[in-house]
């Protein structure tokens, strides 16, 4: 680890923190229906869309209505995407003449993009037509992110209001998230990316003759625009198979900075907006500080493990001064690869600029663990915020009792119903991750996909289901995931990880919105102070750690100790 | 509050029945109410079956046998904790039951005829609501009711524990009578207001016994959290079987069972109901009967206390605080005069004057025998008392009345006198004028004396985040003066029942929880509206019905203790939950390396406690897990100490003790158990 490395990490995080407030205030204005500078441009479009969908402006929904609309919208998106992928051979904009996707892969991919996971069992540049990329995947990149934001805002409203049952209108929130937030930002970021040299073209791949005279096919396409929404929407699905390690997706150190800032910015700003909307900016900062502290710890752990390197390689004469450079790009270096790995997993983004499978065992453990914490650092757009709020509810419940009052968060009493729903949501991750991993680890159809037997193989499976259920989408490599078993189960894991979490969250919103907001007193557990931030960090780490410790012990942890004992996988 | 009363858990009178109760509670039909311990029991049964199988198959079963044994201990310790908590209440309930076992009622045959006292004797269980009964000397009250005729002194010690009899009479605020109490003089006609079986004493017995104990809302929510955690760990442990199989380890059911039981929150699961029962029991020992656990919980949440001024904040009677002479009168002369004038004043105010003259001027009651002294007693009509000794005509009383006596109007009384009178009135006190003959001697300052120490209590409450509001019938000036002296946050002057109700509603709309106490029928609406309404046992039936707690001592400051007990219950739950979850970290470090040591000896690096062998490590974790329940029973019964230092400080401290402590303690504990297990050579 070097000072310069930490300086780079600090530079990115400070940029994110600086952006959080103005962007957060903007988000708060958008979702409380106040005018913003984009209003004259966007409002007619918004009204047009809503009229087209037959939504009466100002008519709000209760949680059931909201969840119903959200599920219906996602189902339709899923079906449309599935159809496009199955029919891409007969649809236009397919200059390479790619065939239709097989059903299991199409299911997996549709589930993956509808859930904002962007797990790719395929190589983008060798599988997807331009139409599938743009009309299929990119549309979902926008609307799945917008869905997350909408749900987070609905939950926020539950804390703002007391009484009634309305938590907003899903269609309005969805449209606003897309038109006011994602689209304008994506346009700006895409233009910057083009300026930085990312390709943006609708042509087929071109063929170049190399210096040796060989023919090389160079993949190209609308990369810059894809890349912009991939990061802003915490989607993470790359245009290219090697994702942000590819020089066309992420050509320079600066584009790498921009990538990380872009993926963190909306999620962090949403947390700030939460504080602003519930009337306590300090609350927003407290939650942001939790995520930043955990991210720094995670980054530091990866950074340390990677610069420490692999003693086995050093022993055979590899220069240890660079650390473990296997699977990393020299233009990013250890610090930015570590930060990228921590952020992409802490964030439910899933893009990678270094191959996680090639990280040292402990370096690989951290991204996996960050995902298992529930993608709340600061998590996917929207999903991170509501995940964080669920954790805050649990933290307040467990420890809040110790101030001698029944637990409350932001003036809302946390009672049996909220607890039931929060536990329901929390159960989803261990159930899907550990359940599918356990079956895959013993069944032939599971183990046959493993590239490296031994503990590393277990990590491959564990990482895949963790990534799917956490709606992350990054892969550990190695595992051959494009099989019937993995395509189907990973698809199911993604759907459960997304919707079996969102529905209880919306139900919590429905329960909380009815309750009166209790005025705080000096006897109230303050949730906007460092003490609460520390408590929340503790709860996140302990709950996450307790669930996954045995599995991690048998994967990366044992691999680490075995490596120290002289054996590598 | 006094937590000094130690809970003698080892008292055989409680211990023996508790052990029996602990075994009876093993019945799964009862245990299912406690999901965590229920799961533990199922696992214990499973491991026991496997142990027996091993035994019959001739395999070495020492390990599974011991695991089974300690799993059973875990369950029994949990049920034992509940039994111990119930123990004290059971004993109290028994004595109450004996008291009500054979009540008879003299039911009036002709209730409409006022003077006809003919009655028939029937069993109290046959009474109906609305029946009129006659209760005479030495009779026990057959049921709850309202006095419609007569005055009697009643011994209510069966319920309140207070042996001094109280007066019960028709009309007014002292008309409620309680079944099981004894009339010790005169007679009463009582209209029965409660069905047999639902009387106060019945409800009290049910509450104390905990037979009909309902889980409180927070307890339910906590149970859900604990069940959820149990499920999470069930998933983690069951799936571990597959992960282990992949790694080439065949885990036995016994070790998986051990892992599961150590991970699920057995500590808080085992002690949860004991905490609630012990909390109610603590209330009962404070002579407060809560009609529901919900109310006790709400007490912990209270933001605002509505306190009656009289009797709670002040002594209830105005007391003389200084003598202010006018003109050339000396203070001692005035004191002597007013002492003489007050000798015949039997009111509390009169006595306080005597006491002040005694304390500040060393004057004793003079011997007036043979001096022809004619005392003039105080009466509400004249508002004057005094004495005539020879030609000395000394009078003291209300300023106007005394001025009338001396034949002056206010303007003629002199500026010095008027200034003194006005100053006293402005400060919220009451001036009494003193005159001898036609001469005004001075003024006595009567004031409401705030109880010593009450200001500090309010400051403590404020630190808890609780506002105190004084309710008084006084005018706003007087009220403000007393409010500032007592240090309350707000006051309602010239309060009417409607005003109280409005104030409570207003506070509740602002999102605050209100507690109040009251005794009169006119308090009933406010008591019902308040989130915590404490009715005085001495109060009317209406008030007792409206409140959700009854204070048998009829002491209004009890609210403060009630709030503290409510908070203690919640804090104890939170502390043990945090402790329980934090414990799991150490247990993983004990068990995980032990499970896989044969496959991955390298995982021995996680054995940071340096436990002796895989088997001793697992057994030690299970033993620690069981013993910690017993070790924490006293804490569960006593409750975590509440300190009024504000939420943040309180949380910080408790997090340190129970969070960090919960993280560290099991590392030490498991190591110690391991040393013991190894030394004893059990394995």
CB contact under 8 A, A524 and B578: no
Q: Find which of B263, B303, B602 to mutate to test the A interface (most A CBs within 10 Å of its CB).
A: B602
Tell me the pLDDT tens digit for each residue of A193-211.
999 988 888 776 778 888 8
Does any domain span residue A332?
Answer: yes
With a cut of 50, say whether residue B414 has pLDDT above it: yes
CB contact under 8 A, B221 and A426: no
Question: What interface predicted TM-score (ipTM) does this complex get?
Answer: 0.93
CB contact under 8 A, B642 and A162: no
CB contact under 8 A, A531 and B228: no
CB contact under 8 A, B235 and A562: no
Residues of B in contact with A405 (CB under 8 A): 300-301, 567, 570, 647
CB contact under 8 A, B462 and A522: yes
Residues of A in contact with B217 (CB under 8 A): 406, 415-416
CB contact under 8 A, A434 and B582: no
Does any domain span residue A156?
Answer: no
Tell me the pLDDT tens digit for each residue of B111-133.
887 777 788 888 888 888 888 89
Does any domain span residue A413?
Answer: yes
Residues of A in contact with B247 (CB under 8 A): 455, 458, 554, 558
Mean pLDDT along residues B423-450:
86
Q: What is the mean pLDDT of chain B?
A: 85
Does any domain span residue A427?
Answer: yes
Residues of A in contact with B512 (CB under 8 A): 518-519, 521
pLDDT at B3: 35
Give the C-alpha distances (Å, rounded to integers) separating B58 from A422, B48, B54: 48, 15, 6
Å between A143 CA and nearest CA of chain B: 32
Sole residue written with tokens 């001075």? B442
With a cut of 70, say whether residue B5 has pLDDT above it: no
Q: For residue B163, name the pLDDT band (cuts at 50, 70, 90).
A: low
What is the chain A residue with the closest CA to B462?
A: A522
pLDDT at A368: 92
Residues of B in contact with A416 (CB under 8 A): 217, 220-221, 224
Does any domain span residue A266?
Answer: no
| Closest residue to B243, CB basis, from A431, A438, A523 | A438
Q: How far is the C-alpha of A429 from the C-alpha of A435, rounded, in Å?
A: 9
> Is B523 among the catalytic positions?
no
Tell me the pLDDT tens digit for each residue of B41-65.
999 999 999 999 989 988 888 889 9
Å between B162 CA and nearest CA of chain A: 31
Q: Find which of B248, B568, B574, B579 to mutate to test the A interface (most A CBs within 10 Å of its CB).
A: B574
CB contact under 8 A, A435 and B647: no
Using a pLDDT cut of 70, give the percent of chain B over it.
Answer: 95
CB contact under 8 A, A522 and B227: no
CB contact under 8 A, B232 and A529: no
Structure tokens at B33: 């109410």
Mean pLDDT along residues B230-248:
93
Q: How far is the C-alpha of B418 from the C-alpha of B327, rounded, in Å?
A: 12
Residues of A in contact with B650 (CB under 8 A): 402-404
Nearest Cα to Cα of residue B400 among B439, B445, B431, B441: B431
Does any domain span residue A363?
Answer: yes
What is the chain A residue with the closest CA to B651?
A: A403
Q: Which residues of chain A have pLDDT under 70?
A: 57, 204, 569
Query: Could you tell me the residue range of the domain that residue A507 belongs to?
Result: 311-564
pLDDT at B662: 94
Nearest Cα to Cα of residue A410 among A509, A313, A316, A500: A509
Å between B454 CA and nearest CA of chain A: 20
Å between B236 CA and nearest CA of chain A: 6
| Closest residue to B655, CB basis, from A399, A407, A438 | A399
pLDDT at A31: 95
Does any domain span residue A77?
Answer: no
Indicate the pairing of strand B549-551 with strand B532-536.
parallel
Tell me the pLDDT tens digit for each residue of A39-65.
999 999 999 999 888 887 678 999 999
User: What does residue B57 show for φ and ψ, rounded to 5 degrees?
Assistant: -80, -5
Residues of B in contact with A428 (CB under 8 A): none
Q: Are A193 and A224 in contact (CB under 8 A)?
A: yes
Residues of A in contact with B656 (CB under 8 A): none
CB contact under 8 A, B465 and A406: no
Could you please report the per-residue DSSP string of B436-487?
ETTEEEEEEEEEEEEPTTHHHHHHHHHHHT-EEEEE-SS-HHHHHHHHHHHT
Sole residue written with tokens 């199955």? A86
- What is the 3-class SS of B39-98, one letter each residue? HHHHHHHHHHHHHHHHHHHCCCCHHHHHHHHHHHHHHHHHHHHHHHHHHHHHHHHHHHHH
Residues of B in contact with A312 (CB under 8 A): none
CB contact under 8 A, B247 and A521: no
CB contact under 8 A, A406 and B218: yes
Å between A54 CA and nearest CA of chain B: 38
Tell me the pLDDT tens digit for each residue of A440-494.
999 999 888 888 888 899 999 999 999 999 999 888 878 888 899 999 999 999 9
Q: For residue B262, name the pLDDT band (cuts at 50, 70, 90).
A: very high
Does any domain span residue A474?
Answer: yes
| Closest residue to B221, CB basis, from A416, A427, A519 | A416
Sole residue written with tokens 């979850």? B581
| Closest residue to A427, CB basis, from B220, B232, B651 | B232
Å between B20 CA and nearest CA of chain A: 32
Domain count, chain A: 1
Å between A168 CA and nearest CA of chain B: 23
Residues in chain A: 569
Q: How far is the C-alpha of B337 from the C-alpha of B632, rounded, in Å?
A: 66
Q: Are A121 and A109 in contact (CB under 8 A)?
A: yes
Catalytic residue among B173, B202, B281, B308: B308
With a cut of 60, say whether residue B9 has pLDDT above it: no
CB contact under 8 A, B243 and A554: yes
Q: How far is the C-alpha of A258 from the C-alpha of A262, rounded, in Å?
A: 6
Å between A555 CA and nearest CA of chain B: 9
Residues of B in contact with A162 (CB under 8 A): 511
């Amino acid at each position: 680890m070097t000072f310069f490395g930490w300086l780079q990490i600090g530079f990115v995080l400070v940029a994110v923190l600086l952006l959080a407030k103005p962007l957060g205030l903007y988000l708060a204005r958008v979702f409380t229906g106040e005018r913003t500078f984009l209003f004259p441009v966007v409002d007619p479009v918004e009204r047009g869309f809503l009229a087209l969908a037959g939504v009466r402006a100002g008519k709000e929904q209760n949680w059931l209505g909201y969840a119903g609309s959200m599920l219906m919208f996602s189902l339709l998106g899923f079906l449309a995407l599935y159809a496009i992928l199955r029919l891409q051979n007969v649809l236009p904009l397919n200059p390479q003449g790619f065939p239709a996707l097989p059903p299991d892969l199409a299911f997996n991919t549709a589930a993956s993009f509808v859930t904002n996971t962007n797990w790719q069992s395929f190589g983008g540049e060798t599988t997807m037509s331009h139409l599938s990329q743009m009309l299929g995947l990119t549309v979902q990149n926008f609307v799945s992110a917008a869905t997350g934001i909408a749900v987070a805002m609905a939950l926020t409203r539950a804390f703002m209001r007391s009484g009634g049952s309305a938590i907003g209108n899903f269609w309005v929130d969805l449209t606003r998230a897309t038109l006011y937030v994602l689209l304008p930002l994506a346009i700006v970021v895409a233009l910057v990316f083009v300026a930085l040299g990312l390709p943006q073209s609708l042509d087929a791949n071109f063929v170049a003759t190399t210096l040796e005279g060989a023919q090389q096919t160079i993949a190209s396409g609308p990369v810059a625009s894809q890349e912009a929404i991939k990061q802003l929407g915490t989607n993470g699905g790359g245009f290219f198979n090697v994702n942000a390690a590819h020089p066309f997706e992420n050509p320079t150190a600066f584009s790498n900075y921009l990538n990380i800032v872009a993926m963190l910015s909306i999620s962090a700003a949403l947390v700030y907006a939460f504080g602003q909307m519930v009337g306590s900016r300090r609350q927003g900062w407290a939650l942001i500080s939790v995520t930043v502290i955990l991210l720094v710890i995670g980054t530091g752990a990866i950074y340390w493990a990677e610069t420490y390197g692999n003693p086995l390689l050093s022993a055979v004469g590899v220069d240890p001064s660079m650390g473990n450079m296997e699977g990393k790009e020299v233009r990013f270096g250890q610090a930015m690869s570590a930060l990228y790995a921590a952020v992409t997993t802490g964030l439910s983004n899933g893009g990678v600029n270094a191959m996680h499978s090639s990280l040292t065992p402990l370096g690989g453990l951290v991204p996996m663990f960050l995902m298992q914490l529930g993608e709340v650092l600061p998590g996917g757009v929207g999903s991170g915020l509501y995940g964080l709020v669920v954790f805050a509810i649990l933290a307040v419940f467990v420890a809040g009792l110790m101030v001698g009052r029944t637990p409350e968060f932001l003036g809302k009493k946390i009672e049996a119903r909220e607890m039931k729903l929060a536990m329901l949501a929390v159960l989803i991750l261990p159930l899907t991750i550990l359940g599918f991993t356990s079956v895959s680890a013993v069944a032939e159809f599971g183990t046959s996909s493993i590239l490296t037997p031994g503990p590393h193989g277990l990590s491959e499976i564990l990482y895949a289901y963790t990534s799917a259920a956490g709606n992350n989408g990054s892969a550990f490599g190695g595992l051959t995931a494009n099989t019937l078993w993995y395509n189907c189960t990973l698809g199911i894991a993604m759907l459960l990880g997304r919707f079996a979490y969102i529905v209880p969250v919306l139900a919590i919103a429905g329960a909380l919105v009815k309750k009166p907001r209790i005025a705080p007193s000096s006897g109230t557990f303050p949730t906007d102070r460092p003490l609460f931030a520390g408590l929340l960090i503790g709860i996140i780490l302990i709950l996450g750690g307790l669930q996954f410790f045995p599995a991690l012990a048998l994967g990366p942890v044992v691999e680490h100790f075995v490596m120290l004992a002289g054996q590598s996988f | 509050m006094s937590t000094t009363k130690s809970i003698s858990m080892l008292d055989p009178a409680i211990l023996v029945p508790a052990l029996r109760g602990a075994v009876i509670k093993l019945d799964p039909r009862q245990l299912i109410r406690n999901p965590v311990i229920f799961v533990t029991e199922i696992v214990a049964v499973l491991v026991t079956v496997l142990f027996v199988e091993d035994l019959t198959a001739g395999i070495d079963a020492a390990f599974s046998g011991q695991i089974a044994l300690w799993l059973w201990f875990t369950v029994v310790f949990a049920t034992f904790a509940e039994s111990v908590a119930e123990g004290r209440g059971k004993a109290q309930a028994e004595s109450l039951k004996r008291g009500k076992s054979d009540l008879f009622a003299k039911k009036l045959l002709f209730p409409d005829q006022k003077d006809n006292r003919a009655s028939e004797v029937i069993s109290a269980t046959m009474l109906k609501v609305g029946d009129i009964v006659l209760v005479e000397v030495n009779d026990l009250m057959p049921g709850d009711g309202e006095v419609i005729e007569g005055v009697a002194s009643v011994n209510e010690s069966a319920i309140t524990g207070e042996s001094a009899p109280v007066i019960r009479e028709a009309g007014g605020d002292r008309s409620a009578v309680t079944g099981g109490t004894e009339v010790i003089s005169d007679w009463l006609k009582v209209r029965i207001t409660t069905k047999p079986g639902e009387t106060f004493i019945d409800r009290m017995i049910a509450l104390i016994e905990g037979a009909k104990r309902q889980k409180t809302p927070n307890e339910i929510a906590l149970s859900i959290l604990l069940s959820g955690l149990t499920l999470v760990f069930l998933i983690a442990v069951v799936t571990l079987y597959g992960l282990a199989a992949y790694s080439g380890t065949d885990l036995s059911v016994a070790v998986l069972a051990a892992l599961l039981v150590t991970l699920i929150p057995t500590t808080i699961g085992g002690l949860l109901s004991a905490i609630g029962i012990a909390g109610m029991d603590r209330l009962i020992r404070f002579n407060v009967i809560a009609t529901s656990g919900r109310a006790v919980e709400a007490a912990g949440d209270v933001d605002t206390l509505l306190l009656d001024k009289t009797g709670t904040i002040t002594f209830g009677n105005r007391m003389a605080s200084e003598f202010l002479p006018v003109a050339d009168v000396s203070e001692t002369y005035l004191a002597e005069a007013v002492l003489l004038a007050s000798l015949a004043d039997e009111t509390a105010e009169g006595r306080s004057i005597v006491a002040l003259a005694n304390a500040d001027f060393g004057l004793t009651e003079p011997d007036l025998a043979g001096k022809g002294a004619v005392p003039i007693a105080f009466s509400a009509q004249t508002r004057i008392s005094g004495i005539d000794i020879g030609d000395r005509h000394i009078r003291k009383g209300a300023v106007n009345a005394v001025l009338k006596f001396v034949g002056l109007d206010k303007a003629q009384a002199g500026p010095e006198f008027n200034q003194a009178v006005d100053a006293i009135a402005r400060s919220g006190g009451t001036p009494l004028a003193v005159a001898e003959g036609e001469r005004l001697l001075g003024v006595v300052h009567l004031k409401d004396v705030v109880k010593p120490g009450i200001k500090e209590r309010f400051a403590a409450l404020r630190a808890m985040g609780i506002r105190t509001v004084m309710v008084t019938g006084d005018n706003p000036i007087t009220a403000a003066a007393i409010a500032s002296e007592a240090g309350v946050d707000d006051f309602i002057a010239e309060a009417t029942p409607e005003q109280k109700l409005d104030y409570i509603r207003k506070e509740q709309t602002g999102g605050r929880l209100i507690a109040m106490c009251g005794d009169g029928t006119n308090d009933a609406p406010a008591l019902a509206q308040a989130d915590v309404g404490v009715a005085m046992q001495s109060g009317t039936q209406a008030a007792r019905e409206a409140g959700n707690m009854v204070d048998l001592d009829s002491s209004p400051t009890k609210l403060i203790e009630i709030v503290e007990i409510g908070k203690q219950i919640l804090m104890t739950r939170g502390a043990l939950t945090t402790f329980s979850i934090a414990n799991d970290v150490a247990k993983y470090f004990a068990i995980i390396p032990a499970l896989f040591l044969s496959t991955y000896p390298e995982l021995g690096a996680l054995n940071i406690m340096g436990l002796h062998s895989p088997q001793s490590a697992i057994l030690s974790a299970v033993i620690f897990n069981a013993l910690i329940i017993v070790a924490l029973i006293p804490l569960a019964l006593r409750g975590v100490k509440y300190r009024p230092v504000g939420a943040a400080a309180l949380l910080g401290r408790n997090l340190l003790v129970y969070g960090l402590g919960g993280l560290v303690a099991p590392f030490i504990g498991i190591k110690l158990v391991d040393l013991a297990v190894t030394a004893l050579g059990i394995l």
